[in-house]
Structure 1
């Protein structure tokens, strides 16, 4: 919010003033509000400006669900934008320590970390907009150690190290070591760790670390069209190398259209090279980053998978280029990252129980 907006605010005294622009409650506004509310004391007022008409209905519903009060609503014109003053509840909102993420992992037990954003490939659907030209934005071993220590102290169990291409990080080995004691998975395209310094890094990694390797199809045509000429053969070679070094290997395919024939062919290919079915993952393209089409991502369409980068924290690893999915402007404290997510989940749960909707998506 600019100083000029503060000067023209019709809300009077507020502890903080945020501008939601045209975001609705499902596309990021509640993340902004929740972050701000956690910084405020009970009884203080939060100012919110919005040009999205649905917020006029949804914001009071949200406030009622969590016990806050919308004290003031002012419209600049009949078509908006609208200003709201929300007083934070004077009593603690209900705390729930464990939320189930579907049938997978309880919130607080899993953390994603983008080790870096530069990559040897520039895949046409990359949600992180990684490429050889991307800024590295590396997580340092010192930051990684601090994050992993706090995460473990909070009861965390599992960490996924992704990118970019993690093996382009010159200190990847130190980052993996920093997460010792947690169940560790490194996501890689398996194309650059066969020789030189990166091969040395690979061979020094503990064999309890899972390597999740990308392979998008049973044949080279589709994979190479999406990832670059020759990448399919090199990925297969990387899978064989990882297996020969006794790493647990999981293979993940990213597909625009989950055609049953293509999926079946890929499963048969992976069966043939000894990858167990439980370690064969098929995932859709998300409409994020470089992808113009795919699954729509918002806080009400994907369950949270809290994700750390060198410069922030995000709702889900596929949404790290989407400012509406940002949880925090720094990777620590991890407790605050999970706290924001818990607050959002509590609202979703309360809305579901009451039959009310506060997470609309255009």
Structure 2
């Protein structure tokens, strides 16, 4: 009799072969992420969260959505030092400057993932005021998908290169801390990629070390339809990977799904829509372990070594 193989990534406890699925325990909430909304001024070719000018599946956050979590961190003595903001493009959110200022006033460092294309004069003024009031507390991580304009624009669309370059140069000229996020989707060797970015930074006069994994983060590609092995409890030893190094061992992400009255805490920045990774409404709710029941868990984090935090 023919045996039908069970589908992968369906059972949070068991793999398709019936083996115990690996999970990751939250060891230390180092970074709390907020997705400020999925709207973006670009529609990228391979956006993991499908951001676009029309996508509002995650609605804009306001200060009132963010501040309770900052208060919970302090009241429960969580070790969180860094607050991350992602999107969409965070600076499309009309309340983003207010959210940033509130977060900084609570004493946190902030990391903003941005395409650096939205720094209008009014926003520039607010950012400069915050930089002066909270020195060395703001880091902007700029998405430069490839060091060549042609491949960057292949991913992000025609005309997306020069405004990004101008935004990055404005940040650098005004003394902001900058990181860069690149992608490996074109199959370049890592050495070649870092050498290419090194040349780009030198041409632009940007003081970044392309060989420093904090200054230049290279993200593996994510494709939910690609064949990916499931991660079992035995894989940690087989692969020589420490579960404590996984993103969900040290971070969570707050979102507001369209139609919801309240925010939710998701296990991961990569899985904003999948309700099996919705851990509740508070950080206390979200303190449990996370089964690695999604292709992104395997491809991006375990096998790809990716992490959205430094």
- Structure 2: gaps (5+ residues): 1-5, 236-245, 258-263, 293-310
The verdict on how the C-alpha distance between 1:269 and 1:285 changes in structure 2, with shifts beyond 3 A counting, is same
| 2:301 paired residue number | none
Residue of structure 2 equivalent to 1:268: 199
Q: How many residues align?
A: 252
SS for the counterpart of 2:72 is: helix
Distance in 2, matches of 1:283 and 1:271, equals 22
The TM-score with structure 1 as length reference comes to 0.61
**If you compute each CA radius of gyration, which structure gives the higher value, 1 or 2?**
1
Superposed CA offset, 1:29-88 (max 9, x none): 24xxxxxxxxxxxxxxxxxxx9x865xx45xx68xx99xxxxxxxxxxxxxxxxxxxxxx
Which residue in 2 is equivalent to 1:137? 59
Deviations 1:180-216 (CA, angstroms, capped at 9, x unpaired): 21221011000111x2433334333334210100111
- Tell me which of 222, 231, 242 is aligned to 1:286: 222
Equivalent position to 1:205, from 103, 124, 130? 130
Structure ranking higher on relative contact order (CA contacts 8 Å, 6+ apart): 2
* 2:43 is aligned with 1:122: yes
In the alignment, the residues of structure 2 paired with residue 219 and residue 201 of structure 1 have an alpha-carbon distance, to the nearest angstrom, of 31
SS of residue matched to 1:185: strand
User: Aligned match of 2:113 in 180, 187, 195?
Assistant: 187
Distance in 2, matches of 1:124 and 1:338, equals 34
Any residues of structure 2 matched to 1:340-355 within 5 Å, and which?
A: 340-341=289-290
Q: Pick one of 289, 294, 314 that aligns with 2:266.
A: 314
Correspondent of 1:113 among 26, 29, 34 = 34
**Against the structure 1 CA distance between its residues 158 and 189, is the aligned structure 2 distance closer, same or farther, given a 3 Å change threshold?**
same
Task: Tell whether the 8 Å contact from 1:217 to 1:253 is kept in structure 2 after alignment.
Answer: yes
**Once superposed, what is the RMSD of the aligned Cα atoms?**
3.3
Write the distance in 1 (CA, Å) between the matches of 2:83 and 2:267. 15
Looking at structure 2, the residues matched to 294 and 247 of structure 1 have their Cα atoms a distance apart, in angstroms, of 41
Name the counterpart of 1:147.
Answer: 69
CA 1:295/1:123 → structure 2, altered by over 3 Å: closer, same or farther? farther
1:328-355 deviations in Å (ceiling 9; x for gaps):
2x5x3112112244xx59xxxxxxxxxx
Contact kept? 2:83, 2:108, Cα under 8 Å: yes
> Structure 1 222/182 Cα, relative in aligned 2: closer, same or farther at 3 Å?
same
Structure 2 CA distance, aligned partners of 1:29 and 1:283? Answer: 26
- Aligned partners of 2:99, 2:127: CA distance in 1, in Å? 13
SS of match in other structure, 2:288: helix
SS in 1 for 2:110: strand
